[in-house]
Amino acid sequence: MQLFIDTNILLSFYALNQEDLRELGKLADRVINREVTLLITDQIIDEFYRNREQRIEGSLKSFYGQIFNPQLPQICENYPEEAERLRSALKEYEQAHSVMVARMAIDIKAKNLQTDQIIHSFFANGHKVELSPAIIDRARLRMGVGNPPGKNNSLGDAINWECLLNIVPDQSDLFLISGDKDYSSPLSDDELSGFLQDEWERRKQSKIHFYRRLSAFFKDRFPEIGMANSRDRDYLVRELSNSQSLADVQKVITRLNSYPEFTAGQANGILLAALNNQRVAWSIDDGQVRGFLLDIMNRYQQYLDVEMLDQLKSLFEQQRAVPD
């Protein structure tokens, strides 16, 4: 199996929990045992390490800033035993938080996080695609004439694509995993661009199998490797936040509706998307969007941020869609 994993998917590993990372290790084992040929380009390696620290910082920013400093009302002093227990617990938390931050800083600098170890295994045991001046020239031509993939005068995706065309043997299928919309069809984010599909089939006489998420690839090709579907829900909440049109919003909500439940964080993320993304806010007079948001508000009310919930209720009132 010829497999290519885009940088955005590799960087997303920093958001995985230990269970998911253990499952991901099973793919690393298949790469080591040559059951899977993982194609690695210089562009992927450089792009990964160029964005690694920023991705980690984004994941840990809120944790680093967690400083609890509750002010006990004077009446609490009438309960000295409980007040002292609360202060001791707070001090213990602050000490543990400080130790964890310090240990993480050491592992981050040493590139010794569990995710780093898996990525290192991928890079060390994958099949390295050598970058040549000819590939760069073809990538520049591709970008110059406006052919996908690529955006914002960036050669990265074009270089990776030309590397794949160059290295994958004819009549060998390619499995490509990328969350980058530059590879997707404008008609469906989950399908490969028709232009790229046609080009691949014409030049390689084989099929290209496209996946937006690693979990979808595992479900299709390695069902024994089980990524927690919570990752899929997190991904869709982010997609809702980034939706650019009513059609995008409806598409994401249709997929979110296929899940019976959400975590408190995901439910609050949905509310945040509705408040911060104007495309979602402007869509709440649509029956599907309104019904979904009302369901979230009603089912998860006790877990929702009160201020965000009040703001969304106010938005519903402005749109003449007052919750029950």
Boundaries of domain holding 57: 2-61+112-221
Domain-embedded: residue 69: no
Helix or strand run (H / E) with residue 126: none
pLDDT at 28: 93
Instruction: Mark which of 170, 190, 221 sits at the end of a domain.
Output: 221
Q: Are residues 311 and 175 in the same domain?
A: no
Record the tokens describing residue 265, joined without a space: 């964080």
Instruction: Mark which of 221, 239, 270 sits at the end of a domain.
Output: 221
Q: Are residues 38 and 161 in the same domain?
A: yes
Per-residue HEC secondary structure of 133-171 comes to HHHHHHHHHHHHHCCCCCCCCCCHHHHHHHHHHHHCCCC
Q: Are residues 202 and 281 in the same domain?
A: no
Burial, 40: exposed, middle or buried (Cβ in 10 Å; 0-12, 13-18, 19+)?
buried
Total tally of structural domains belonging to the chain: 2
Q: Are residues 118 and 199 in the same domain?
A: yes
Domain-embedded: residue 94: no
Which residues, other chains included, contact 295 with Cβ-Cβ below 8 Å and sequence gap of 6+?
A: none
Q: How many CB atoms lie within 10 A of CB 225?
A: 19
DSSP characters over 214-249: HHHHHHHH-TTS---THHHHHHHHHHHHT--SHHHH
Q: How far apart are CA 238 and CA 89, in angstroms?
A: 34
Question: Residue 2: left if φ>0, alpha if ψ -120 to 50, beta else—which one?
Answer: beta
Q: How far apart are CA 199 and CA 212, in angstroms?
A: 20
Q: How far apart are CA 172 and CA 206, in angstroms?
A: 6
Domain-embedded: residue 152: yes
Number of H helices and E strands in the chain, helices first, is 15, 7
Domain-embedded: residue 186: yes
Question: How much is the pTM?
Answer: 0.71
Q: Are residues 208 and 283 in the same domain?
A: no
Domain-embedded: residue 85: no
* CB-CB contact of 39 with 167 (8 Å): yes
In angstroms, what CA-CA distances link 105 with 94, 108, 112, 119, 210? 16, 5, 10, 18, 36
Domain-embedded: residue 27: yes
Q: How far apart are CA 188 and CA 133, in angstroms?
A: 34
Q: Are residues 161 and 294 in the same domain?
A: no
Q: Are residues 200 and 260 in the same domain?
A: no
Q: Are residues 57 and 8 in the same domain?
A: yes
C-alpha of 224 from chain center: 22
Q: Are residues 212 and 247 in the same domain?
A: no
Which residues, other chains included, contact 230 with Cβ-Cβ below 8 Å and sequence gap of 6+?
A: 263, 266
Which residues, other chains included, contact 41 with Cβ-Cβ below 8 Å and sequence gap of 6+?
A: 128, 129, 131, 159, 160, 163
Q: Per-10-residue mean pLDDT for the chain, 324 residues long?
A: 94 81 90 95 95 85 68 85 88 88 93 94 94 93 90 84 95 93 86 95 95 87 76 84 87 82 84 87 83 87 84 79 45
C-alpha of 186 from chain center: 20
Q: Are residues 51 and 163 in the same domain?
A: yes
Q: Are residues 216 and 262 in the same domain?
A: no
Domain-embedded: residue 71: no
Phi, psi of 35 (to 5 degrees): -75, -30
Q: Are residues 148 and 291 in the same domain?
A: no
Instruction: Mark which of 155, 187, 221 sits at the end of a domain.
Output: 221
Domain-embedded: residue 250: yes
